Amino acid sequence: MWAAEDPHFPPTVDEFFPPAIAGPFVTKFTILVWLAVGILIIFYLLAYRKPKMVPTRMQWLAESVYGFNRDNVANQMIGHEGVRFAAYFTTLFSFILLTNLFGIIPGIQMSTNSHIAFPIVLAIISYVMFIYIGVRKYGFGAYFKKALLPPAPWYVLPLLIPIEFFSTFLVRPVTLSLRLFANMFAGHMILAVFTLGGFVLLQSTWLLKPVAILSFAMAIALTFLEFLVIILQAYIFVILTSSYVGGALAEEH
């Protein structure tokens, strides 16, 4: 009641609609995306500017991120053709990881991916990409024939083709964007509830004040959990994108 004025206690969706800073299109989210793009460009330029046999720490970091995406994502999910996509997967992974990390960096504490628009754009890129790659390799008709016609007797095909269409061309982009968005949204909400809840408890009667310590401890513990979720979600997004690309390229067996 009295707490309702200052720390807006139950955090609401308004959290995710920060005021415009300059004109209607420049908000905290816009600036964070620009910041992420800038940091990544500068990081990879600096890391690869003068490559050495014995890498510096920065070069080592950049090479391990690239090596991970090339070997454990592109090569493993797509096969020997995968190296062509390693650069894109590295970019995608770095971008999602960094923008997710903004969610727990003190002072920023807002991931751009907790706004549905950004995961939607990333998912659309993956969606267009795997269809385009399949169409380019097999041709329009042959690709959709391969994607929609499962190896099954003709009399069950009317049953199976709608399922194939639904799970390949409708569910994929939706789940790809929703999974990332919901994880980052929920993570931000949970951290906000425990942190703001701690302040609200501090302002209440002396009986409840010690509970605030518990609330802050939970906020810290959940930040570590959130860190895990951040890495996991970036990984899952890239691994699923590569799996879709691999599926579009795969020969029928």
Partner 1 sequence: MAGDRSPKHPRDEGKPAPGANQAWAAISYLIGGILVWGFAGWLVDRWLDTGGIATAIGAVVGAAGGVLLIARRLGR
Site residues, partner 1 (CB under 8 A) = 75-80, 150-152, 156, 159-160, 162-164, 166-167, 171-172, 175, 236, 239-240, 243, 246-247, 250, 253
| Residue 204 one-letter amino acid | S
Tell me how far apart the alpha carbons of residues 92 and 72 are, in angstroms, rounded to a whole number. Answer: 15
What is the smallest separation between the CB atom of 250 and partner 1, expressed in angstroms? 7
What is the smallest separation between the CB atom of 99 and partner 1, expressed in angstroms? 22
What is the smallest separation between the CB atom of 16 and partner 1, expressed in angstroms? 27
Q: Pick the closer one to partner 1 by CB: 46 or 152.
A: 152
CA distances (Å), 238 to each of 83, 103, 135, 148, 251, in order? 14, 19, 21, 24, 22
Q: Pick the closer one to partner 1 by CB: 110 or 180.
A: 180
What is the smallest separation between the CB atom of 166 and partner 1, expressed in angstroms? 5
Q: What is the full DSSP assignment across 98-142? A: HHHHTTTSTTT---GGGSTHHHHHHHHHHHHHHHHHHHHHH-HHH
Q: Pick the closer one to partner 1 by CB: 128 or 156.
A: 156
Tell me how far apart the alpha carbons of residues 99 and 13 are, in angstroms, rounded to a whole number. Answer: 19
100 C-beta neighbours (distance < 10 Å), count: 27
What is the smallest separation between the CB atom of 180 and partner 1, expressed in angstroms? 14
Which pair of structure tokens corresponds to residue 68?
Answer: 């991970």
Q: Pick the closer one to partner 1 by CB: 139 or 150.
A: 150
Q: Pick the closer one to partner 1 by CB: 8 or 146.
A: 146
Q: What is the full DSSP assignment across 9-48? A: -S--GGGGSPPPSSSTT--HHHHHHHHHHHHHHHHHHHHT
What is the smallest separation between the CB atom of 241 and partner 1, expressed in angstroms? 10
Buried/exposed 104-134: b ≥16 CB within 10 Å, e otherwise: beeeeebbbbbbbebbbebbeebbebbbebb
Q: Pick the closer one to partner 1 by CB: 156 or 208.
A: 156
Tell me how far apart the alpha carbons of residues 16 and 182 are, in angstroms, rounded to a whole number. Answer: 13
What is the smallest separation between the CB atom of 65 and partner 1, expressed in angstroms? 20
Q: Pick the closer one to partner 1 by CB: 10 or 79.
A: 79
